[in-house]
Amino acid sequence: MDSPRARYLVFFQYVGTAFSGVMAVKQPKQGIGVQNLLEKAAERLRSVTPVKFNISSRTDAGVHALENSAHLDVQRLTGRPPFSPDILTLALNRHLAHPDIRVIRAFRAPDDFHARFEATSRTYLYRVATGCPLDTLSVFEQNLCWALRTDHLDVKAMQEAAQHLQGTHNFQAFRSASENNWQNPVKTLLRASVVPAPASPFTHPQEKRKVQFWDIEFESKSFLYKQVRRMTACLVAVGLGTLTPSQVKEKLESQDPWSGPGLLVAPAQGLFLKSVHYEGLDWGPGKDWYNRPSVSRGCSSGDVPEGPGL
């Protein structure tokens, strides 16, 4: 008789520069997704059935994640207890084939848990740098922000425009213009903020007085495809003076993706999925279960799978 199947909620992060996005890519010529490498590492768990990462939040090529999440099922060979979340995390990290991906933490989850549908909110962070003439941005930051040559953004106007986006609206005007219209465009944007960010530790000391970083954040239960990058582009356009806050409001109310001065889309490299939130999840030490407070912890540290069998 096979051992029982165990479901896990796994949080992971990645630098997205080298990937075609987070989702698995079936044709190698089209690049590789983060999911491909996570599932390759999971093959070493020797699960009775193949392990599939059910990703909670899609990110595109070049987009990063400080924290994404997925649920997965592992069924060990007969007579072996489920892996503890700590051991699962250790095992996956040990066998990941790319240094730009890391599993942060795992939790045991109910058998009917779904990482995508049970997430209560997602927060995206977009990093903008100003005061960056051509080729002066630190090499360590070039794939991690949107570098602007201007020394000044009208942040007050950007914050005013961001307030127009908060709340429940039809965001049809900010979806990808090429996207099929099957997804409900009515979303509730819980938060939209524009704030100065700390100086980057990777900026050369002689350039720190010139370069200023800004954090643009959006929080919602879900977003339309490219909604965050299009909202970001509009806010930056307001900061540069090419749009006004009232024009952003007009674009929102138009419900037309083609409205406004061109199809503004911020580049991928400045965008980070910052967090995925689940109601009641306790990140405290020793908290291994999500919504299951009194269940066996699984195998001990001595049961870490090793070598080719993992």
Residues of the binding site: 124
Complete DSSP assignment for 232-294 = HHHHHHHHHTSS-HHHHHHHHHHT-TT-SSS-----GGGEEEEEEE-TT---STT--BSS--S
Phi, psi torsion values for 246, nearest 5 degrees:
-65, -30
| Phi, psi torsion values for 284, nearest 5 degrees | -65, 160
State the binding site for substrate: 124
- State how far Cα 152 lies from the chain centre: 28
In the numeric block, which tokens belong to residue 279?
A: 């109601």
In 3D space, the residue among 100, 127, 125 whose CA is nearest the CA of residue 33 turns out to be 100
- Catalytic entry in 2, 60, 135, 288: 60
* d(C-alpha 11, C-alpha 38), whole Å: 11
* Among 209, 281, 272, CA closest to 68: 272
**How far apart are alpha carbons 23 and 75 in whole angstroms?**
23
Instruction: Note whether 63 and 226 are within 8 A (CB).
Output: no
Q: Which residues of 73-97 are buried (b: 16+ CB within 10 A; e: fewer)?
A: bbbbeeeeebbbbbbbbbbbeebbe
How far apart are alpha carbons 116 and 181 in whole angstroms?
20
Residue 60 is a catalytic residue: yes
Amino acid at 248: V
Q: Which residues are catalytic?
A: 60
